[in-house]
Structure 1
Amino acid sequence: AFYDTYVTKGQNITITLPMTVRESMLHSGKSYDNVAYQVDFGQAYKTNTVTNHVPKVTPHKFNTNKAGSTIDGK
């Protein structure tokens, strides 16, 4: 069924795997690697290793009016 539905027709399959970053990695500026494995008709394959960079984020909030002037504390 799978072979006839997807392989013989040349259909692509996209799989989305939602993930979250560990608390210890948030705003760390560090990197981590992901690798997956897939099995095609009984044969296992390792995917490419993907390196994900977690940026250091330092957000700053500015209150401005319509003219773009800062109104912090007013």
Structure 2
Amino acid sequence: MPLLSPEQCRAARGLLDWTQEELAEKAGVSRSTVRDFENGRHSLHPATAAQVIAALEGGGALLIPAGEAGPGVRLLKPVT
């Protein structure tokens, strides 16, 4: 099971109202890395996934691991 799915990444960005460029900047990765991952072109290296996850969680997204209903995302706090 991947640490982060492309769908979770897109959903978290949507909840945070971030563009791919904003996520890339906050995570310290290139926009093409975010774009290609979200479009299913490639998986993220574990270290890169950790950077993206840290950025999303730092912004207030809670990444919910897969369970019976599958992986998900929640907003921990209102975005200000």
Q: Is TM > 0.5 for Structure 1 vs Structure 2?
A: no
| Higher relative contact order (Cα pairs below 8 Å, separated by 6+ residues) | 2
**Structure number, greater radius of gyration:** 1
User: TM-score, with normalisation over the residues of structure 1?
Assistant: 0.18
Larger % of strand: which? 1
User: TM-score, with normalisation over the residues of structure 2?
Assistant: 0.17
